[in-house]
Amino acid sequence: MKHNNDFKYDLEVGQLKESELGDMLSNSKIEVKYDLRAKETGNVFVEYESRGKPSGISTTQSDFYCFAIAHSFVLISLSELKTRCRKYIGTRRDVVGGDSDTSKGILLPIKDLI
């Protein structure tokens, strides 16, 4: 987007984005995940399997994931989250975790999430 010093123009653009976010929040399914250790580790755990069956991002009906990290929220489309996780399948970031280590997931660096 081209830079513009006109407040009225900036206000219009801002209001369009506010409307876009409002539509997204009211017309989409959003799954919220609170990873208590994310701020400490610099990663979020993105589950894709539990007890040998697809789960998490593999089965969700949500359009978006929202990660609560400390006092911030990161909203990402499910398709984009899958794309960002896919490159870590089969690497040292593809780990077991969750309750009693019965799940598999990707330790996605927060920098990759944002």
Residue 1 in this model has a pLDDT that exceeds 60: no
Name the pairing type of β-strands 64-69 and 30-34: parallel
Name the pLDDT band for 24 (thresholds 50, 70, 90): confident
20 domain residue, yes or no = no
> Which structural domain, as residue segments, surrounds residue 36?
29-113
Task: Give pLDDT, residue 8.
Answer: 76
In a domain, 13, yes or no: no
For residue 14, is it within any domain? no
Q: Does residue 49 fall inside a structural domain?
A: yes
Mean pLDDT to the nearest integer, 71-85:
95
Instruction: Provide the pLDDT for residue 93.
Output: 97
Q: What is the chain written as a DSSP string?
A: ------HHHHHHHHHHHHHHHHHHHHHS-EEEEE-TTHHHHSEEEEEEEETTEE-GGGT---SEEEEEETTEEEEEEHHHHHHHHHTTTTSTTEEEESGGG-EEEEEEEHHHH-
> Is residue 39 in some structural domain?
yes
Residue 3 has pLDDT above 70, yes or no: no
Number of domains in the chain: 1
Q: Report the percent of the chain where pLDDT is more than 70.
A: 95
- Flag whether 11 is in a domain: no
- Do the domain assignments include residue 104? yes
Asked whether residue 99 is domain-assigned, the answer is: yes
Q: Which of 19-23, 34-38, 77-81, 97-101 has the highest mean pLDDT?
A: 77-81
Q: Of 72, 18, 67, 30, whose CA–CA distance to 46 is shortest?
A: 67
User: Best-predicted range by mean pLDDT among 6-10, 15-19, 32-36, 92-96?
Assistant: 92-96
